[in-house]
Amino acid sequence: MKRKFVPLLLMVFLTLSLVGNVSFAQANLKLEQSEPLTSSTGTLINYVDGTITQAGPELVALSADTSCSTTVSSITQTMYLQKKSGTSWSTVNSFQKTVYSTDYISDFRTASVSTGYTYRLLIVSKATSGVNDTREAYSDPITIQ
């Protein structure tokens, strides 16, 4: 698993190094690992993890990875970039990736955002191998500076 995560970390560090010494916010995910969603019929997923980081004045970097307890038929991981409006959240962008016959998936994306607004990352991961296991995790919100 560490071998697969290293290229992702290198991409994040490269992206952040391109913006100089500017300090930006980062939020790690609050993992919802203990209970599967009601649509789940199995316990295939070990964890869902990821981050949302401000990578530039109007740019965020999104990373996500999902690990399963065994090789599964497929894993679909969807990252939702959500913007806060009042007390509710709306999805402003989404990215989906599916892999087959594996126990791990990772993804890294960047997305444009607006200064002064608050965003969070929602990851929904679904593993299928005879049964379905769906988990979700939300990040803490970050306000774009």
Provide the pLDDT for residue 50. 87
Provide the pLDDT for residue 71. 98
Provide the pLDDT for residue 40. 55
The pair of three-digit structure tokens given for residue 64, joined into one six-digit string: 């996500």
The CATH number linked to 76 is 2.60.40.10
Note down the domain range covering 135. Answer: 2-143
Q: For residue range 26-84, what is the model confidence (pLDDT) as tens digits?
A: 555 544 443 455 555 568 999 999 899 999 999 999 999 999 999 999 999 999 999 99
Provide the pLDDT for residue 43. 87
Q: For residue range 129-139, what is the model confidence (pLDDT) as tens digits?
A: 999 999 999 99
Provide the pLDDT for residue 14. 47
The pTM of the full predicted model, rounded to 2 decimals, is 0.76
Average pLDDT over residues 99-127: 97
Domain tally, the chain:
1
Q: For residue range 76-99, what is the model confidence (pLDDT) as tens digits?
A: 999 999 999 999 999 999 999 999
Provide the pLDDT for residue 33. 41
Radius of gyration of the chain (CA): 15
Task: Spell out the residues 6+ positions from residue 48 whose beta carbon is closer than 8 angstroms to its own.
Answer: 29, 31, 32, 33, 64, 65, 66, 77, 123, 125, 135, 136, 137
- Taking Cα atoms as reference points, which of 122, 81, 137, 126 lies closest to residue 100? 126
